[in-house]
Amino acid sequence: MLLPRRRPLRALGAAALAAILALGACTGERPTQADEPDSRASTTTSSSSTTTTTAAPEPAARVAQAKAPRIAVFATATDPTPAQEIVAGVDTSAETIPIVFLVADGADPQDDRIHVHLPVRPNGSTGFVNRAEVDLIDVPYRMEVGLTEHRIRVYRDEELLVDEPVGVGRSDRPTPGGTYYLKELLQPPDPTGPYGTYAYGLSGFSNVLQSFNGGTGVIGIHGTNEPEAIGTDVSSGCIRLHNDVIERLVEEIGLPLGTPVEIQA
């Protein structure tokens, strides 16, 4: 099942979304991303005889979060005129959801523009945004979805956190392969409904359906009220999880927006 327009789903509050994105957790009771750099930053230990320096691991991804609810996108790093504009509430399900991009390659803080993946059709689109208009955030998480094996795996750095079965798109409405990212987190008004307890909207779209239930055919990762269909080709393109698994991703792990999602055939 694809994600509809915002009617059946309600966006999480702005404060909760900001916490998920900036802190990597949903409540203040869990460690926030602000506390995490101590474990990821370079560390130096000294003694009277030796000094050892350990380099921080490279983050799994870098995310650019727009500082405003709309942002200009340029076709190249040097074009004087924007090619398009990404707008909260148009390219996301609600105006309160921040605009995030997965950085497409290394982003030097001195670069005037950052190369990013875009949450627009066609799938795989990229562009450039002004460095001054975004905040760059390192994300240690990544997701892999194996369509043939019907599995989802979630990693923090190289540590495997989740390895669970999923339902994927039917043969006539297949889940598209490619590199995407989590662009929004939504909470269905009815946790016993077809979207389960939570739904992540991805930056990708169905290659078959140009619209779905008033929406634009956005691919999602969400819970389900048909757990018996997990492990099969059952949806209109979305990736279905058991509700306890999507709850773990949101409530326990706190996957931040911008987390890369590699969908593999």
Q: Which one, of 115, 128, 118, lies nearest residue 178 by Cα?
A: 118
Q: Catalytic site residue 222?
A: yes
At 68, phi and psi to the nearest 5?
-125, 165
Residue 160 neighbours by CB under 8 Å, 6+ apart: 153, 154
d(CA 94, CA 249): 21
At 78, phi and psi to the nearest 5?
-125, -5
* Residue 79 per-residue DSSP state: -
Active-site residue identified among 26, 117, 150, 238:
238
Strands (E), the chain: 10-11, 43-46, 51-54, 61-66, 70-73, 84-87, 100-102, 113-117, 126-130, 134-139, 141-146, 151-156, 159-165, 168-169, 178-187, 199-205, 218-222, 233-235, 239-240, 260-264
Cβ atoms of 240 and 230 closer than 8 Å:
yes
Active-site residue identified among 26, 115, 222, 242:
222
Q: Catalytic site residue 117?
A: no
Q: Does the CA dihedral 199-203-207-211 come out positive or negative?
A: positive
- Catalytically annotated residues: 222, 238
